[in-house]
Amino acid sequence: MKVAIRADASVQIGSGHVMRCLTLADDLRERGAEVRFITRAHPGGAQALIAKRGYACHLLPAPQPGGSVMGDLAHSAWLGVPWEDDLARSAAVLADWSPQWLVVDHYGLDWRWEQPLRGQVPRILAIDDLADRRHDCDLLLDQNYYSDLDQRYAALVPPHCTCLLGPGYALLRPEFTVAGQALHRGTGPVRRVLLFMGGMDQDNATSIALRGLQDFAKAGIAIDVVLGAGAPHRDQVRTLCESTPNTRLHVQVDNMAELMASADLAIGACGSATWERCFLGLPTIAIVLADNQRRSAHDLAAAGYIVNLGEVAQVTPEKVAQAVAALTADDAGRVAMSRRALGLARREPRTVADLIYEGTR
């Protein structure tokens, strides 16, 4: 089976879309599929990471510097070019290879891009978080938690589309399953905090949160800070880590499950890593870094799965310190949050890869 994946990373977009697609690609490759990526050469793009993971990568040209992209989607600018141009170049790649499935994970694309590609590929999986545009797809994946999840895509997908909704379908690497099997969440004090605000962290929320953690680090709590290799504020974060006791910076890690399993508390963005933390029952203080995180963060906090500090622009080191102090003092509250998160992340019996293979038969 051949599977093409269209996803981008950039300083603006972040790396989460490509990272979750790589997780799906690994699962498909393990089952014998040949997977290739189509990605654009944005600043902060993921082409090197995709190649390092062993996948062929068809690189679309970088956007013109200073160019403006007009479109009617909320995230049209993330594409970097008019969608018609992206469609033409992607169609040429697909026509030369003829895959059975196309996976598209991009907020700047919708049914107008997907529908014409039916001539090059029989089946399409759309990965979405926003429910703000129509799709022409056979499967739709939204791995997020929302209070109205079952209704979000009712008018946005064709009648034959199967919707895979909720954290039970989250794209998790095998290392999380292994870590989950050996996991024993205790009821003791907080000894280790994990700080991960996404691979890029364009807003430098890592530095804000780390300043709020400095007194806890001085009191003996270990701090693990994680960033991607392309993070624009990496040098500043490194300097801050070096001046903060009991603090270690990890860059472009491949042991995130281990770091999450060993932590007692996390501070993080409300993106894809949310479901990794839930799967390992890690109590979390979340900060909203993007529009697509706002609603999910609100609903998760309202149901008691996380603590939500809100928009990054309103978050200060003092607010972080207050939230950490409250949770570190509330052992029973952390245990309850951990158990709720573990229940939320309970896996569906069939994975996304299972359903792709079933749809090919």
Q: What is the DSSP letter of 63?
A: P
Strand segments, DSSP code E, in 8-161 are 34-40, 56-60, 101-105, 123-127, 139-142
Phi (first) and psi of residue 333, to 5 degrees: -65, -40
Q: Is residue 167 classed as helix, strand or coil in its secondary structure? A: helix
Which residue among the candidates 17, 58, 75, 233 is catalytic per the annotation? 17
Provide the pairing of β-strand 265-269 with 192-196. Answer: parallel
Q: What is the DSSP letter of 187?
A: S
Half-sphere exposure of 230 (CA within 13 A, CB side): 18
Q: Which residues are annotated as a binding site?
A: 173, 276
Q: What are the percentages of helix, strand and coil residues in the chain, rounded to 5? A: 40, 20, 40
Active site residue 17: yes
Provide the pairing of β-strand 139-142 with 123-127. Answer: parallel
User: Partners of 194 in the beta sheet?
Assistant: 224, 266
Q: Which residues are annotated as a binding site for substrate?
A: 173, 276
Q: What is the DSSP letter of 288?
A: E
Q: Angle formed by the axes of helices 234-242 and 205-218, to 10°?
A: 10
Instruction: Name every residue whose Cβ is closer than 8 Å to that of residue 253 and which is 6 or more positions away in sequence.
Output: 226, 259
Show which residues are catalytic: 17
